């Protein structure tokens, strides 16, 4: 019995081992299949995947095996350490070997027994599975189009199950016996499992993978040979013809003639971060069905990065148009496309079930070697609608969509056709699962090898088959964008405001001039005005010694310096801080009502002040300068603008927002606020009576306004600088295609210049009448020495005289040198400069004369620009030079006292209008803050949206200008400082010299009166010369040998060379 029992036990043990071996092998296949499903569904292995795999529930179906059948079972705790994939195929065959090691799994099986229940619990640890799959390509009509085919065969298999433990439990009578033999059963499985498992795996793997290949081939086969429609959609209006559209044709010529520049621009975009629009970012659900179960996944695209754009072949870039089609082509040596993808496994049903969803991320890298791409884009746009777009609307895709809707139905935009030549290489980057990513990369590489033509054909066909869905998705995306709407460009105040300000000032000027002419005609007719002027005039007969219009009521130094009535030069007052105590006036008589001011002038002055205020308002608020983009090709010109638009007020606000506070202060305070303050103060000084505004205060105010009124021109000088610097362009060498940036001054620019000049005239007019009104009613008798021509150099220290004689010509030469020298340079950069200009052309050297000449480059027939150019040269160059010449004449030329005072008035007027120092200040401001201001304009003006895209994708500015000083700036700033400071010093010196001459004349007059007697009075009377005779004698007597030594010889020689009495 023991022997029989022992044999029975051994037989049962062999039977049980065999049955459990088959069961274990089935479990191994299920484990492998489950892991393959996980890889195919998630293609991800983040930090949470390991836990997710361990919680998978793998359900075992009933299986008939030798021995007790398996009624079912359940496995969990799946994990593996490495997954390796090796490509073993050739050009005509795909063969891949998968090697999985370190597989761990715990299972519980319910075995079929006669009585009770029997459960088998086993654990796999460090198991190894190696499987090789092979498939042959399926031909679609031509050898050039091949896809993966079925059936899929298993050409190699190797399994090492490594059962770590096996235990039996349950109520069956066999449980204790099997539990006693568990070690032997485990050893038997580990030793003899490979052949059985590989046989089972071959059948199951071939069946499962063949099902997938069949579905993929059926899906991709629908794309083979698909072509675009024969005709374009029917147009409703006249379409834009891209074959003649100037921007497209200019870009075509730029690409052809400046390929290196295009390559530089494209290279700036690498790496290119392409934004994922909401439509593309929207998650896409997908379900994978196999005989083992279903997997539901959700995919979403997070990011797209393109690298390697610098490998572009510059000679293979092209853009052109064919009616409503746009053709774009390019080729690259190697481009890398990186896709950031988010994957979520929502649910797994069937033999493998997930306990909870898994969400992971991965990066898919696609490398395209020697790729070329040609796209034929359908762009049916209404010609009228396209040409009517403003520059800000041209930066909105929704505006082009509206142009397309006007032209045809929703089929008017999209990809019409494309051609591609690529050799793709895919690589998957999965955090924490490098082996899994490498396995998928090898599998895909094996599938794509030798399939280049098939991939290209499928890509072309995919566009055609999916055309309707792609168009629908595109229009759906366009509808989510900001609507086109009306332009948001600031085009100045409403038209009625412009009309009121402009026509109001013109009407006031016309009415004032007409009223003045009418009053003059009436006065000439009645003689009343001439009689009033004669009765109220303080001037004496012209040829009398006292007829000079420069006599004053007090001394030039102090009211108490002399009891005699002396002359008071206004420059002496300015030099010594004295004020005018003019002749007695009615406390209610304003300057406008003074008898020396003709009533017609009094009225006209007030009207001109009001008109100037209206002109400044119009000039400050309205667009003064526009910068347009002009395209010309094949005889057609298109101007797009205003790309940039400026008014004086906008410039001040933009400069402040940009942080260019110096520019903001110059424009806001000197060009906006100061002109209004000056005009209001001029009107107040003109109309305020002495009891309200004293003569002394009026004198100081008018002098201040007259001297500093020119600083309102600083905005004009900065505008002229910008006009010249923003002028850049490109001209084709093989056709008429050209592009240029066109700064276009508008009417407010010219009215601002005119209003500034008018303000200077009004200021000097008020000062002149004020000085005229301060003259005494009765001029006193003047000595012939005062009336006779004399040089001012006799009445100043010889060192000062020598300084002026040498310094004034030197300063004039310095001004000329500074004007003709290159004093600063503009360095241009950004996408526009790269595209249009060669490297040496991006640095431009400027000086005062260069700026003035370039102002009218290409616009020589523009009368307005010619007028501004004349004003610029006249104020910034001609007047400063003339001022130095006038000072020399005043200092050296023998003149009567009255003529010298008149010459001082001329010098004061020239100084008030000399704006060379203003230009020097403008260049300094441009050097300090022009770059900041230029950057701000590109991002916060009409090009804001386009320049933001350029900065985001090309990593550079649209256009940037930076001002740098050159060595010639030292000449400019030195001349500017001296031209500002020297007149103040010269006026003081001349005032002191004039006072010395007055003292000499007063002393001579007193000596003559004390020594004369009644007897020789007749002789003395005859000895006094008339003014004309005295001037003649003095001119004859004052030869150079008498007045030059006073400058060039020792100071003591002046006592010997005393002028004749």
Residues 6+ apart with CB under 8 A from 594: 585, 769, 773
pLDDT of the residue at 95: 83
The answer to whether residue 534 scores a pLDDT higher than 70 is no
pLDDT of the residue at 819: 94
| Range from 122-136, 296-310, 550-564, 699-713 carrying the lowest mean pLDDT | 550-564
pLDDT of the residue at 291: 66
CA dihedral over 747, 748, 749, 751, signed as positive or negative: positive
For residue 1000 the two structure tokens come to 């000499």
The answer to whether residue 247 scores a pLDDT higher than 90 is yes
Q: List residues bridging with 336 in a β-sheet.
A: 307, 367
3-class secondary-structure state, position 999: helix
Q: What are the backbone dihedrals phi and psi of residue 118, each rounded to the nearest 5 degrees, phi first?
A: -135, 120
The answer to whether residue 511 scores a pLDDT higher than 60 is yes
Region 371-391: mean pLDDT is 90
The answer to whether residue 978 scores a pLDDT higher than 90 is yes
Q: List residues bridging with 348 in a β-sheet.
A: 295
For residue 432 the two structure tokens come to 């924490």
pLDDT of the residue at 1038: 37
Residue with the bigger pLDDT between 1054 and 920: it is: 920
Residue with the bigger pLDDT between 859 and 374: it is: 374
Share of the chain above pLDDT 70, in %: 77
Among 594, 912, 941, which Cα is nearest to 775's? 594
Note if the bond before 102 is cis, omega within 30 degrees: no
The answer to whether residue 142 scores a pLDDT higher than 50 is no
pLDDT of the residue at 168: 84
Region 853-882: mean pLDDT is 88
Residue in the block written with tokens 């332009």: 487
The answer to whether residue 901 scores a pLDDT higher than 80 is yes
Q: In this structure, which long-range contacts are made by residues 502-509, counting pairs with CB atoms below 8 Å and at least 24 apart in sequence?
A: 502/614, 502/618, 502/747, 502/751, 504/614, 505/611, 505/612, 505/614, 505/615, 505/618, 506/611, 508/607, 508/610, 508/611, 508/614, 509/607, 509/608, 509/611
End-to-end Cα, the chain, rounded Å: 172
pLDDT of the residue at 280: 66
Residue range 723-753, pLDDT digits in tens? 777 778 899 998 899 998 888 888 888 899 8
State the average pLDDT for the chain. Answer: 77
**Alpha helix (H) residue ranges in 537-647:** 570-576, 599-621
Q: What is the DSSP string of 822-883?
A: --EEEEEESHHHHHH--TGGGEEEE-HHHHHHHTTTT-TT-HHHHHHHHHHHIIIIIHHHHH
Residues 6+ apart with CB under 8 A from 481: 396, 397, 398
pLDDT level of residue 815 (50, 70, 90 thresholds)? very high
Among 300, 301, 304, 302, which Cα is nearest to 283's? 300
pLDDT level of residue 1022 (50, 70, 90 thresholds)? very low
Region 46-73: mean pLDDT is 74
Radius of gyration in angstroms for the set of CA atoms belonging to the chain, rounded to a whole number: 49
Q: List residues bridging with 94 in a β-sheet.
A: 135
The answer to whether 986 touches 784, Cβ cutoff 8 Å, is no
Residue range 81-137, pLDDT digits in tens? 888 888 887 766 778 888 888 888 898 888 877 777 888 888 888 888 888 888 765
Query: How far is the CA of 741 from the CAs of 731, 733, 833, 858, 939, in angstroms?
Result: 12, 18, 11, 12, 18
For residues 105 and 77, what is the distance between their CA atoms, to the nearest angstrom?
5
Helix pair angle (897-913, 695-708), 10° resolution = 50
Residue range 256-270, pLDDT digits in tens? 999 999 999 999 888
The answer to whether residue 1031 scores a pLDDT higher than 50 is no
Q: List residues bridging with 93 in a β-sheet.
A: 90
For residues 449 and 135, what is the distance between their CA atoms, to the nearest angstrom?
13
Among 725, 716, 719, which Cα is nearest to 846's? 725
- Find the helix or strand (DSSP H, E) in which 368 lies: strand 358-379
Query: How far is the CA of 267 from the CAs of 308, 850, 946, 950, 951, in angstroms?
Result: 8, 35, 19, 13, 14
pLDDT of the residue at 224: 73
pLDDT level of residue 290 (50, 70, 90 thresholds)? low
- Find the helix or strand (DSSP H, E) in which 23 lies: helix 2-42
Dihedral through CA 570, CA 572, CA 576, CA 577, nearest 10? Answer: 0
pLDDT level of residue 1002 (50, 70, 90 thresholds)? low
CA dihedral over 500, 502, 503, 507, signed as positive or negative: positive
Residue range 394-427, pLDDT digits in tens? 888 889 988 998 888 767 888 888 888 877 777 7
Q: What is the DSSP string of 219-239?
A: HHHTTTT----SSPPPPSSPB
Residue range 638-663, pLDDT digits in tens? 998 888 888 888 888 888 888 888 88
DSSP letter for 693, please.
S
Residue with the bigger pLDDT between 365 and 219: it is: 365
Q: List residues bridging with 142 in a β-sheet.
A: 140
| Range from 81-90, 557-566, 588-597, 996-1005 carrying the lowest mean pLDDT | 557-566
Region 1002-1007: mean pLDDT is 58
For residues 158 and 127, what is the distance between their CA atoms, to the nearest angstrom?
11
Three-state secondary structure of 435-486: HHHHHHHHHHHHHHCCCHHHHHHHHHHHHHHCHHHHHHHHHHHHHCCCCCCC
Burial (CB count within 10 angstroms: exposed 0-12, middle 13-18, buried 19+), residue 230:
exposed
Region 297-319: mean pLDDT is 88
For residues 476 and 469, what is the distance between their CA atoms, to the nearest angstrom?
10
pLDDT of the residue at 11: 43
The answer to whether 647 touches 623, Cβ cutoff 8 Å, is yes
The answer to whether 126 touches 102, Cβ cutoff 8 Å, is yes
Region 986-993: mean pLDDT is 91
Sheet with 729-731: strands ordered across: 636-646, 625-633, 738-745, 729-731
Q: Which of 109-123, 897-911, 912-926 has the highest mean pLDDT?
A: 912-926
Among 106, 103, 102, 101, which Cα is nearest to 123's? 106
For residues 785 and 544, what is the distance between their CA atoms, to the nearest angstrom?
14
pLDDT level of residue 846 (50, 70, 90 thresholds)? very high
Share of the chain above pLDDT 90, in %: 17
| Range from 201-210, 228-237, 759-768 carrying the lowest mean pLDDT | 201-210
Strands 352-353 and 318-322: unpaired
| Range from 493-507, 570-584, 892-906 carrying the lowest mean pLDDT | 570-584
Q: List residues bridging with 306 in a β-sheet.
A: 272, 337
The answer to whether residue 533 scores a pLDDT higher than 90 is no
Region 827-839: mean pLDDT is 90
The answer to whether residue 303 scores a pLDDT higher than 70 is yes
DSSP letter for 354, please.
-
The shares of helix, strand and coil residues in the chain, as percent rounded to the nearest 5, are: 55, 20, 25
Among 379, 375, 376, which Cα is nearest to 240's? 379
Three-state secondary structure of 236-264: CCCECCCCCCHHHHHHHHHHHHCHHHHHH
Region 189-213: mean pLDDT is 70
pLDDT level of residue 559 (50, 70, 90 thresholds)? very low
pLDDT of the residue at 724: 78
Residues 6+ apart with CB under 8 A from 636: 244, 246
The answer to whether 390 touches 489, Cβ cutoff 8 Å, is yes
| Range from 7-16, 508-517, 962-971 carrying the lowest mean pLDDT | 7-16
pLDDT of the residue at 184: 79
Region 1036-1054: mean pLDDT is 36
For residues 789 and 1029, what is the distance between their CA atoms, to the nearest angstrom?
11
Q: What is the model's pTM? A: 0.71
Within 706-787, strands assigned E span 729-731, 738-745
pLDDT level of residue 456 (50, 70, 90 thresholds)? confident
pLDDT of the residue at 592: 86
For residue 634 the two structure tokens come to 């094949």
Region 561-586: mean pLDDT is 39
pLDDT level of residue 535 (50, 70, 90 thresholds)? low
Note if the bond before 151 is cis, omega within 30 degrees: yes
Note if the bond before 49 is cis, omega within 30 degrees: no
The answer to whether residue 1041 scores a pLDDT higher than 60 is no
Residues in the chain: 1061
For residue 582 the two structure tokens come to 């003019």
Ramachandran category for residue 634: left, alpha or beta (phi over 0 → left; psi -120 to 50 → alpha): left
Residue with the bigger pLDDT between 812 and 219: it is: 812
The answer to whether residue 960 scores a pLDDT higher than 60 is yes
The answer to whether 129 touches 28, Cβ cutoff 8 Å, is yes
């Amino acid at each position: 019995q023991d022997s029989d029992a022992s044999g029975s036990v051994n037989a049962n043990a062999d039977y049980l081992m065999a049955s459990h071996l088959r069961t274990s092998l089935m479990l191994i296949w299920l484990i492998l299949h489950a892991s393959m499903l996980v890889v195919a569904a998630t293609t991800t292995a983040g930090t949470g995947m390991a836990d997710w795999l361990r919680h998978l529930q793998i359900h075992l179906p009933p299986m008939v095996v030798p021995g007790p059948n398996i009624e079912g079972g359940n496995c969990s705790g799946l994990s593996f350490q490495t997954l390796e994939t090796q490509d073993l195929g050739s050009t005509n065959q795909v063969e891949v070997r998968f090697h999985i090691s370190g597989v761990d799994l715990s299972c519980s099986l319910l075995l079929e027994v006669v009585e009770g229940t029997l459960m088998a619990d086993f654990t796999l640890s460090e198991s190894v599975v190696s499987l090789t799959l092979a498939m042959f390509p399926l031909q679609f009509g031509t050898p050039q189009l091949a896809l993966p085919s079925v059936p899929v065969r298993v050409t190699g298999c190797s399994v090492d199950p490594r059962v770590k433990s096996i235990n039996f439990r349950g109520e069956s009578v066999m449980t204790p016996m099997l539990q006693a033999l568990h070690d032997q059963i485990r050893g038997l499985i580990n030793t003899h499992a490979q052949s059985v498992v590989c046989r089972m795996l071959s059948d199951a793997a071939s069946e499962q993978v063949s099902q997938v290949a069949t579905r993929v081939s059926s899906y991709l086969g629908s794309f083979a040979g698909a072509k675009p429609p024969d005709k374009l959609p029917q147009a409703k209006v006249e379409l834009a013809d891209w074959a003649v559209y100037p921007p497209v044709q200019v870009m075509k010529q730029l690409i052809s003639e400046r390929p290196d520049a295009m390559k530089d621009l494209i290279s700036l975009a690498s790496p290119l971060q392409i934004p994922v629009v909401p439509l593309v970012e929207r998650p896409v659900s997908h379900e994978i069905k196999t005989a083992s179960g279903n997997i539901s996944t959700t995919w979403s695209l997070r990011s797209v990065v393109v690298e390697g754009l610098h490998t572009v072949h510059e000679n293979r870039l092209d853009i052109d148009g064919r009616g409503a089609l746009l053709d774009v082509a390019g080729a690259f040596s190697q481009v890398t496309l990186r896709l950031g993808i988010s994957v979520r496994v929502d649910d797994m049903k069937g033999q493998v079930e997930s306990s909870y969803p898994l969400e992971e991320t991965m990066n898919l890298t696609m490398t395209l070697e020697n790729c070329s791409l040609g796209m034929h884009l359908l762009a049916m746009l209404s010609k009228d609608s396209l040409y009517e777009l403003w520059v800000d609307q041209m930066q909105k895709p929704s505006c082009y969509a509206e142009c397309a809707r006007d032209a045809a139905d929703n089929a008017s935009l999209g990809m019409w056709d494309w051609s591609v030549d690529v050799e793709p290489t895919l690589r998957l980057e999965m955090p924490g699962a490098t082996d899994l990513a490498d396995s998928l990369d090898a599998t895909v590489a094996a599938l794509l090898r030798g399939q280049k033509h098939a991939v290209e054909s499928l890509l072309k066909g995919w566009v055609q088959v999916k055309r309707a869905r792609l168009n629908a998705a595109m229009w759906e995306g366009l509808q989510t964008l900001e609507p086109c709407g009306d332009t948001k460009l600031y085009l100045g105040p409403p038209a009625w405001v412009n009309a009121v300000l402009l026509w109001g000032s013109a009407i006031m000027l016309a009415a004032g001039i007409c009223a003045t002419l009418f009053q003059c005609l009436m006065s000439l007719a009645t003689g009343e005005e001439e009689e009033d002027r004669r009765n109220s005039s303080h001037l004496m007969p012209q040829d009398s010694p006292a007829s000079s219009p420069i006599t004053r009521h007090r001394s030039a130094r102090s009211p108490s310096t002399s009891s005699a009535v002396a002359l008071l030069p206004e420059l002496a007052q300015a030099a010594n801080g004295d004020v005018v105590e003019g002749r007695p006036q009615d406390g209610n008589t304003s300057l406008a009502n003074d008898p020396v001011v003709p009533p017609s002038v009094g009225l006209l002055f007030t009207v001109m002040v009001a008109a100037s205020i209206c002109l400044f308002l119009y000039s400050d608020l309205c667009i003064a300068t526009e910068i347009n983009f002009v395209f010309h090709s094949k005889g057609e010109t298109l101007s797009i603008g205003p790309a940039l638009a400026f008014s004086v007020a906008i410039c001040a606000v933009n400069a402040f927002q940009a942080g260019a506070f110096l520019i903001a202060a110059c424009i806001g305070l000197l060009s906006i606020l100061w002109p209004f303050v000056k005009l209001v103060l001029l009107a107040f000084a003109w109309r305020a009576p002495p009891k309200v505004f004293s003569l002394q205060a009026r004198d100081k105010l008018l002098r201040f306004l007259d001297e500093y009124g020119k600083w309102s021109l600083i905005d004009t000088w900065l505008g002229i600088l910008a006009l010249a610097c923003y002028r850049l362009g490109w001209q084709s060498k093989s056709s008429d295609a050209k592009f240029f940036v066109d700064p276009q001054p508008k009417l407010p620019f010219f009215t601002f210049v005119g209003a500034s000049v008018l303000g200077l005239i009004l200021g000097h007019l008020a000062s002149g009448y004020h000085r005229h009104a301060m003259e005494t009613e009765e001029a006193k008798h003047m000595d012939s020495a005062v009336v006779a021509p004399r040089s001012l150099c006799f009445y100043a220290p010889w060192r000062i005289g020598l300084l002026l004689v040498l310094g004034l010509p030197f300063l004039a030469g310095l001004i000329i040198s500074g004007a003709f020298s290159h004093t600063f340079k503009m360095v241009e950069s950004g996408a526009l400069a790269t595209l249009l200009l060669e490297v040496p052309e991006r640095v431009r050297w400027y000086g005062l004369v260069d700026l003035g000449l370039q102002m009218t480059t290409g616009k020589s027939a523009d009368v307005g620009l010619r007028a501004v150019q004349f004003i610029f040269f006249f104020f910034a160059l001609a007047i400063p030079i003339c001022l130095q010449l006038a000072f020399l004449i005043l200092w050296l030329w023998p003149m009567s006292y009255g003529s010298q005072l008149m010459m001082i008035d001329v010098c004061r007027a020239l100084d008030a209008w000399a704006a060379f120092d203003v230009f020097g200040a403008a260049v300094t401001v441009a050097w300090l803050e022009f770059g900041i201001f230029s950057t701000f304009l590109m991002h916060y003006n009409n090009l804001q949206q386009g320049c933001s895209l350029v900065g985001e994708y090309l990593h550079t500015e649209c256009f940037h200008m930076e001002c740098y000083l050159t060595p010639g700036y030292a000449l400019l700033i030195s001349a500017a400082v001296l031209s500002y400071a020297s007149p103040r010093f010269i006026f003081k010196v001349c005032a002191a010299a004039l006072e010395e001459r007055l003292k000499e004349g007063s002393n001579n007059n007193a000596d003559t009166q004390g020594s004369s007697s009644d007897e020789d009075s007749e002789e003395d009377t005859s000895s006094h010369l008339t003014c004309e005779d005295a001037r003649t004698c003095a001119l004859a007597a004052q030869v150079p040998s008498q007045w030059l030594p006073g400058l060039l010889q020792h100071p003591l020689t002046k006592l010997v060379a005393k002028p004749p009495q």
